[in-house]
Amino acid sequence: MTSDVADDSRTMPEQRLGARRPSEVMAALGIVQLGDPILTTATRPFVLPDECDEALRILARLSAVADAVQRVHDFSTGAMGLAAPQIGEPRSIAIFRVAGEPQLVLINPQVLEIGPPARRDQEERSEGCLSFFDFRCALRRPRTAVISYRTPAGDEAIVRFDRGRLAGDALHEVDHLGGVLCVDHVEPGAPALSMA
């Protein structure tokens, strides 16, 4: 007996998404969506190198989900990031991908410096988030940032972002690890969200 219904069980999840809203597409790829309390809860830092295996396990999940997202959405002209809470992991690790550069893994990141420090002098921008991809936030972000982080082996490293939107994009991921969303940065009285 044959069926007229195609069996899509062997296709990749991103191939079965069809004409869904962007947030539904992200949810189908494993991205936790707005409203889940994990997104507004601070993460637990890693004790390294003792928890190296756990960090690498979550890193593998982050990378796989980010790969799936990049197969359905083009980030080739900018950057994309993904933080552990966005895949349901309450730990302090995020990845950051800038077009044409190696993936940056931020474990236990700490912001050391931003510029300019005064909010009124920071760059006005529109910012999206994979956890509510239907909308964009209107906010201000620093133009530069210096962030320290740990490698899986526990070594300390420092990265400086000083090109265009990259500082704000990296700070977006660090914010996720503290339970802060871009909507939390929208100034009182400003339109919080716009359609993506």
Q: Which residue, among 13, 17, 18, 29, has the nearest Cα to 130 in the 3D structure?
A: 29
The answer to whether residues 171 and 181 touch, using CB atoms and an 8 Å cutoff, is no
pLDDT category at 98 given cuts 50, 70, 90 is very high
Q: Is the pLDDT of residue 123 over 60?
A: yes
Single out the catalytic residue among 51, 89, 127, 173: 173
Helix (H) or strand (E) segment spanning residue 69: helix 52-72
Q: How far apart are CA 131 and CA 177, in angstroms?
A: 13
pLDDT tens digits along 5-17: 344 444 455 455 5
What Cα–Cα distance (Å) separates residue 91 from each residue in 62, 117, 145, 195? 12, 28, 22, 30
Question: Which of the pair, 29 or 126, is modelled with greater confidence?
Answer: 29
- Per-residue model confidence as pLDDT tens digits over 30-51: 999 999 999 999 999 999 999 9
pLDDT at 11: 46
Torsions phi, psi for 56 (to 5 deg): -70, -35
* Separation of alpha carbons 181 and 195, rounded Å: 17
173 labelled catalytic: yes
Tell me the per-residue pLDDT of 153-167, one tens digit each, with 9 for 90 and over.
999 999 999 977 899
The model scores a pTM over 0.75:
yes
pLDDT for residue 76:
80
Token pair belonging to 80: 């994309």
Domain 21-189 -> CATH class: alpha beta
The residue ranking higher by pLDDT, 187 or 51, is 51
Backbone φ/ψ region at 92: left (φ over 0), alpha (ψ -120 to 50), beta? beta
| Beta sheet of 193-195, edge-to-edge order | 123-128, 135-141, 193-195
